Chain A
Amino acid sequence: MSSIRVVVGVLGMDQHELGAVGIAKMLRDNGMEVIYTGCFNTPETIVQTVIEEDADVIGISSHSWEYLYYTPELLSLLEQNDLDIPVIVGGSVITEEDAKAMLDKGVAAVFGSGAVVTDMIDAVRRLVPDDATS
Chain B
Amino acid sequence: MKSNTTRSNIELRPVYGPNDPNADAYSERFGNPGEYPYTRGTRAYSGQGWIQRELSGEGDAKRSNEQLKYLMSIGQTGLDVIGDSPTMSLMDPDHPLARYTVGTQGVSLCRHDDYRELLEGIPLEQMSVSSSCPSMFTVASLYMLAKERDISPGNLRGSVIEWPFYAEHCSYAYKMPFDLHLRMSCDVIEFCAREMPRFHGYLEDTYFFSEAGLNAVEEAALGFVEIRHIVRTLLARGLDIDSFAPRIAILTNCSMDFYEEIAKIRAMRRIFARMMKEEFGAKDPRSQAVNIAVHTSGLSLTTEQPANNIVRGAVQTVALGLAGVSALEISTFDEGYRTPSKEAHLVGLRTQQVVDLETNINSVQDPFGGSWFMESLTDEVEAKILDMVNDIESKGDPAELVNSGYFKQFFHGTMGRYHHQVHDGEVVKVGMNVHEMPAEEDTLLRDISEEKITPLFDRVEQIKRFREGRDHPRLLDALDELYGVVQSDENMLEAVIACNEAGATMGEIAGILRQAWGTPYDPYGHLESPLGARR
Contacts and interface: CB of A to CB of B under 8 A. Distances in A.
Contact of A12 (B97, B416, B432): B97
Contact of B336 (A12, A17, A42, A113): A113
A69 B172 contact: no
Interface in B198-246: 211-213
A96 interface: yes
10 contacts: A12-B100, A14-B101, A15-B85, A15-B89, A15-B171, A22-B420, A25-B416, A40-B173, A69-B455, A113-B432
B368 interface: no
A114 interface: yes
Given A13-B89, A21-B419, A69-B100, A114 B172 contact: no
A92 B423 CA distance: 14
Given A15-B85, A17-B170, A114 B101 contact: no
B499 to A, nearest CB: 23
Interface string B160-198: 000000000011110000000000000000000000000
Contact of B104 (A23, A65, A97): A65
Contacts of A21: 412, 415-416, 419
A117 B85 contact: no
Interface string B51-93: 0000000000000000000000000000000000110010100
A66 B302 contact: no
Interface in A2-50: 12-15, 17-19, 21-23, 25-26, 39-40, 42
Interface residues of A, number: 30
Contact of B100 (A39, A65, A93, A112): A65
Nearest to A39: B173
A6 B388 CA distance: 36
Q: Which of B86, B99, B416, B432 has the most CB of A within 10 A?
A: B416
A133 interface: no
B522 interface: no
Interface in A43-92: 64-66, 68-70, 92
Given A17-B170, A113-B304, A113-B432, A65 B419 contact: no
A114 B432 contact: yes
Given A18-B212, A21-B416, A93 B171 contact: no
A38 B104 CA distance: 21
A113 B431 CA distance: 11
Contact of A22 (B85, B170, B418, B450): B418
B439 interface: yes
Q: Which of A42, A68, A95, A112 has the most CB of B within 10 A?
A: A95
A15 B172 contact: yes
A117 B423 CA distance: 8
Counting from the closest, the 4 A-B pairs by CB-CB distance are: A22-B419, A13-B85, A21-B415, A25-B416
